[in-house]
Amino acid sequence: MLDVEIGNEVVLLANVGGEIHAIGAWCPHQGTALALGTLRENALSCWAHLWRFDVRTGDAIWPPMARVVPGYRLRVYPVRVEGDNVLVSTLRSLKKRPDS
């Protein structure tokens, strides 16, 4: 795993079977650096209290409570790989207005 600074954000890059995923770098539990955690296949374990997240979706895996409580999800960033370059978009999606 590798954390990189993009603008004002820190993004964590994770390689799962050759596929690069980009997620928020801070644990949604208590804000520690997820780069210090352990990645096993698609499951990232936070070093602090061992909560686990799926780096492909951002969903919490453990503890079960974290799967249902809003706010315990990692932000997932779109990634595109072009040759040796990994392109990550930090733009937030725009919601379409009902009148447009």
- DSSP letters for 61-76: EESHHHHHSTT-S--E
Q: Structure tokens of 66?
A: 């974290």
Number of residues that bind ligand FES (CB under 6 A): 8
Q: Which of 24, 21, 20 is nearest to 35 (CA)?
A: 24
Q: Which is nearer to ligand FES, 51 or 77 (CB)?
A: 51
Rule CB under 6 A: say whether 75 interacts with ligand FES. no
11 to 30: interface string for ligand FES, x by CB under 6 A: ----------------x-xx
Rule CB under 6 A: say whether 48 interacts with ligand FES. yes
Are 53 and 23 within 8 A, CB to CB?
yes
Q: What residues make contact with ligand FES under the rule CB under 6 A? A: 27, 29-30, 32, 46, 48-49, 51
